[in-house]
Structure 1
Amino acid sequence: MLRPLLPAITLLAGALVTSPANAIDWQDNSLTYTAGNRFTEPANRAPVRKDILEFVHASGYSHGMNLVSIKMLRSDDIDPARDSRHGATEFYIVYRHLLSLGKVFDTALAAGPIRDIALTAGFDWNSKDNAFAPRKRVLLAGPTLRFNVAAPGFFDVSLLIAKEWNHCGLPPCKAPGNEEYIGFDAYPMLHAAWRVPFSLARVPVRFEGFIAHAFRSGEDYTGRPVGEETLMRTALMADVGAAAGSAPNRLFLGLGYELWRNKFGNQGLAGVDTNAPTLHARWHF
């Protein structure tokens, strides 16, 4: 099941090991606060408020770039912690490495709107203290097309192969014939990420986000079919620091939206489809 991932992971691991730490050409760090009161959770009919704090590090070196996202998500009491009346807390970590094939082989791979071809690999990791007690572990890898967008923008499209392991702490998952720990079937994922800069009434604005469609299949912890899953998060972020005459590219405020269908591959349950407006505040440092 992991065979499609191994060549890419091996190549990227070698690139990381052989790249000296002082070879970073650029980096950007940011802290973002996100709030919304229309989030959902599977098998929960009521909307959930979440307060989300995210640290993001992005950096580039001679052959590619690294991206790290660390999120803390705090729910209200509609999504409670296990054996508690207080809201659950989740931690979610994402790591991605993009290896530019054009730079590795010192060959121009640009063609038409495409400026480069890259290889992407990475992992997702999560932990949440609710009754379900998920422990998501995902490895993924695949090719990425990088399209021409004016700096500091980008538009990348990836076709990835993903393999997920997870945990279910609910009593039905521990029943005979079911699974508390599971390795889901490997699945392809189509992923697009973008940042498009422009000006609105002389204020620098960024339209940014991602959309991912996971062609999931197989069965879950209790033998139910797993459905295809779509997740989109997008936001319109205004550079309010620059608009106020301060340093540009530091302080951003914005409005966003989260769309989720068949959340975590669940089908036919309440709370598996999300339509959540969001508010964002971000500080770059």
Structure 2
Amino acid sequence: MHNIAWTRSLGRWTAATVFLLAAPAAAVAQTEFHYQYGRLANPFSGARHFTQILTVQQASIWSLGESFVFIDILEDGVADGFNDLEFYGEWYPTLSFGRLADRTVGTGPVRDVALIGGINFDGDANVLKWLPGVRLSWDVPGFVFFNTDVTAFIDASSGLERGGAPRTTDSFMFDASWGAAFDIGSQSFWFTGHAEYIGAATNELGAPVKGWILAQPQLGWDIGKALTGAANQLFLGVEYQYWRNKLGVDEDDNVAQLWVMWRL
């Protein structure tokens, strides 16, 4: 998987807010711009470089489900074939059984069940992954949303033959994502993020691709509200990234990064 800018599965569904979840069935969308800065590992060389990540992401609700898409642009300032002004993206549309049936589908803390169809793509490494699966949306006190996804992780990449990263055997993914808004005194905060496990595989050269754990919690202070009174627009905070077996090799990330979010 050399040269893949997979440093962000970031914030799958993290753009969802009370506004989106309370919206009517008509389509509604929310767009965000994120900036991150931190010292991340090149898993194939072991070197660590300060990396800038600019993200454009959008969460939306349509009549029968939801959609989340983001595109990252990554640059680490080092011409080493990894994160060299690279782009990477993911898209996750869902089809809600509750919206199809026009009633609550679930029991106990499960408030909805949905089909999910994800796609992960990397331009420079010619990587393409399909992630069909099932989502459970949970009713967790204090959280705006809490979702768990179980999907296949199907490799449809072009592989070495066309100059890309090595193709791999298929695997699976488990992901949990969340968002919670809270106040401390007069200050407002947004706690969001996701954690995933992707199972082990084998690449087309016969080499093992280790299963990995990636967790990316984010904590943001509503600095726009604090300084100007304009709430839910500009956040300043930190993202902590823990990535065990980054991109399937024996290298880890364990780092805090500057995180700035501008919400339209």
Shorter-chain TM-score: which interval?
0.7 to 0.9
Superposed displacement of residue 26, structure 1: 2.1
Q: What is the root-mean-square deviation of aligned Cα atoms in Å? A: 2.4
Unaligned 5+ runs, structure 1: 1-22, 129-133
1:246 paired with 2:248, answer: no
Superposed displacement of residue 46, structure 1: 2.3
Percent same amino acid at aligned positions?
Answer: 27
User: Which residue of structure 2 aligns with residue 159 of structure 1?
Assistant: 150
Q: Distance in 2 between matches of 1:114 and 1:32?
A: 31
Superposed displacement of residue 115, structure 1: 1.1
Q: 1:30 aligns with which of 26, 29, 32?
A: 32
Superposed displacement of residue 201, structure 1: 3.0
Q: 1:186 aligns with which of 170, 194, 203?
A: 170
Q: 2:197 aligns with which of 213, 216, 221?
A: 213
1:47 paired with 2:48, answer: yes
User: Which residue of structure 1 aligns with residue 212 of structure 2?
Assistant: 229
User: Which residue of structure 2 aligns with residue 282 of structure 1?
Assistant: 261
User: Which residue of structure 1 aligns with residue 116 of structure 2?
Assistant: 120
Conservation of the 8 A alpha-carbon contact between 2:191 and 2:218: yes
Distance 1:180 1:158, change over 3 A: closer
Structure 2 counterpart SS, 1:244 = helix
Q: Which amino acid aligns with 1:90?
A: E
Which string of whole-angstrom CA distances, capped at 9 and with x for unpartnered residues, describes residues 104-161 of structure 1?
1223213222111111112011123xxxxx2211101111110114698211001111
Q: 1:93 aligns with which of 84, 89, 92?
A: 89
Superposed displacement of residue 194, structure 1: 0.7
User: Which residue of structure 1 aligns with residue 71 of structure 2?
Assistant: 70
Which string of whole-angstrom CA distances, capped at 9 and with x for unpartnered residues, describes residues 198-236 of structure 1?
11232111111111101122x224321221111111110
Q: Distance in 1 between matches of 2:217 and 2:84?
A: 24
Quick check: which has more Rg, 1 or 2?
1
Q: 1:144 aligns with which of 135, 158, 161?
A: 135
Q: Which amino acid aligns with 1:75?
A: D
Unaligned 5+ runs, structure 2: 1-24
Which string of whole-angstrom CA distances, capped at 9 and with x for unpartnered residues, describes residues 173-199 of structure 1?
99xxxx966432211211111111111
Identify the range of structure 1 (251-260 vs 108-117) with the bigger mean alpha-carbon deviation.
Answer: 108-117
Conservation of the 8 A alpha-carbon contact between 1:165 and 1:181: no
Structure 2 counterpart SS, 1:140 = strand
Q: Which amino acid aligns with 1:80?
A: D
Conservation of the 8 A alpha-carbon contact between 1:188 and 1:215: yes
Normalised to the residue count of structure 1, the TM-score between the two structures is: 0.77
Superposed displacement of residue 250, structure 1: 0.5
Structure 1 outlier segments of 4+, above 3 Å: 149-152, 165-169, 179-183
User: Which residue of structure 2 aligns with residue 20 of structure 1?
Assistant: none
Superposed displacement of residue 43, structure 1: 2.7
Q: Distance in 1 between matches of 2:228 and 2:141?
A: 23
Distance 1:181 1:73, change over 3 A: closer
User: Which residue of structure 1 aligns with residue 183 of structure 2?
Assistant: 199
Q: Which amino acid aligns with 2:56?
A: F
